[in-house]
A and B are shown apart, each in its own frame.
Chain A
């Protein structure tokens, strides 16, 4: 009984994904079984649309800019966390993660108001600012578990051996935290790449990939939408897998270090 339930549950979870992947290779535009012939024509159609290519490029750009800015800001926040003690640290950690609970709608509207107030034209820049705000708490949260294990006496040891504070960061703290920083940066990229709600509010004339797919959905039931979704899916999976692998190696390394 439970087994049947589990099968139904998994089917419910993955069937839509499988359907879209299958239909993206369907030669016929009709969304019906049985599929008679497979082809890549929808992918060709899609890649020949300049709008689609532009939106994909925009999403990659925003993802990369966001990852860079969030990584710099988030790493600095993590370095500050190492120095904080007890209750202050808990309070800061709570303050950092609290915005995750805010609805995207709220963040979107408040950003539009802010940009209007300071007279900033909506563009990929405003999208990047929005995405940095959205991803920063996740980045710091992902760094937190490693930072909690970081022994502050490592930095003191570096200072004791003749390193300035900056040299201690560069030669000791950052290299030790690097695997976690990379993992968190990848997580940031994939969050930014998928983001729709905030983007809809803060973007100008430039469209990102999720926006493009969304607008396609509203206009027609063009089967190339399946191909677009599959491409977005594959990219996300690739990035997540890279992040997961990096974090996995990192954890194994940390566990081994604690066993000494």
Chain B
């Protein structure tokens, strides 16, 4: 029994002296949506192209559905791909594009018609079946590309930044569509993107990549709430990063020396004297009125409001501590509106449990 539909073992890839991937190990579970996320040049696209068969790894093994496919050409692999700019065939209409794979397999005409029609229905394009590729919109092209790949019933569907060429509104609609299609077909999706919002909305698990290696793997919630590295904490959403060192530590907690003063973090296993970074999400902090320079009790930082950014449902305050460090605090907008103006003396309260200590 194989619970893992794809197993990438010790994959390395280099072009001459340029290393694109260094010893990547990754298991993809059957039926999940797995996102390969990272900045451009992190190796996520190369890893996908190795899975599809367009690149051969310098070393390592690719196993798909229990079969070693490392040396197998792309046309023999049980995967299909949705390309970044769709790569639809301009000399064929929508129907013939979707039928392309089935015709190569030599299926009887009636069966091709039935399967293509069913697939066009799934992506809601029945009415455009006879259109030429240059007569349909970006969102529609995206659906044709999906249908063209899915009609072959791949073990794994690879999606290479499929929404990058679409504008924001259509992108959100297509994300919903992708989730629906995933639910209806039950196909495993491997999804490459550089956009952490897309990754968080869509994925069962996220693989964060950096400089040709995997930085961290986890559910979107784990990646956001419990990043292990500085890179991961910075990549997912807005956060306050503070650098300092461990003053004292035991198994249950530690005292950290940071620019904003000493704080107690309920994190065990730190080494006394080592350098650390901590991350504090802006939404884990709140503001209280205070007298100049005096915090209101523990787990609070005194400061002066330097800037207020109003984003509709939320308000972000930038608070400057006496050390010069600026902390962001995000609060929901209340009926009272914006509570503090620029120059107000405030005390920034935080939940010690929300402090994440990062390695390095």
Contacts and interface: CB of A to CB of B under 8 A. Distances in A.
B178 to A, nearest CB: 19
B136 A151 contact: no
Interface string B105-144: 1000000000000000000000000000111111001000
B89 A162 contact: no
Contacts of A8: none
A161 B80 contact: yes
Nearest to A175: B91
Contacts of A159: 53-54, 73-75
Contacts of B80: 160-161
A161 B101 contact: yes
Contact of A259 (B87, B89, B134, B141): B134
B83 A156 contact: yes
A172 interface: yes
Contact of B85 (A153, A160, A172): A153
B148 interface: yes
Contact of A161 (B54, B90, B104, B136): B104
Contact of A260 (B53, B89, B134): B134
A15 to B, nearest CB: 45
Interface string B274-286: 0000000000000
Contacts, number: 70
A162 B101 contact: yes
Contact of A154 (B54, B89, B105, B138): B89
B152 A260 contact: no
B52 interface: yes
A171 B75 CA distance: 14
Contacts of A256: 134
B81 A160 contact: yes
A259 B90 CA distance: 12
Contacts of A156: 54, 74, 81, 83, 87
A151 B87 contact: yes
B87 A153 contact: yes
Contact of B89 (A160, A164, A167, A176): A176
Contact of B90 (A158, A167, A171, A257): A257
B55 to A, nearest CB: 11
Nearest to A157: B87
B157 to A, nearest CB: 11
A163 interface: yes
Given A161-B100, A176-B91, A260 B141 contact: yes
Contacts of B88: 157
Interface string B166-189: 000000000000000000000000
B322 to A, nearest CB: 54
A171 B97 CA distance: 11
Interface centre among A153, A167, A176 (most CB of B within 10 A): A153
Interface in B57-73: 73
A151 B83 CA distance: 11
10 contacts: A153-B83, A154-B87, A154-B89, A156-B74, A156-B81, A157-B87, A157-B88, A160-B75, A160-B79, A164-B73
Interface of B: 52-54, 73-75, 79-81, 83-85, 87-91, 100-101, 104-105, 133-138, 141, 148-149, 152
Interface of A: 151, 153-154, 156-164, 167, 171-172, 175-176, 256-257, 259-260
Given A159-B73, A172-B91, 20 more contacts: A153-B85, A156-B54, A156-B87, A157-B89, A157-B148, A158-B100, A159-B74, A160-B75, A161-B75, A161-B80, A161-B101, A161-B149, A161-B152, A164-B75, A176-B90, A256-B134, A257-B134, A259-B134, A260-B135, A260-B136
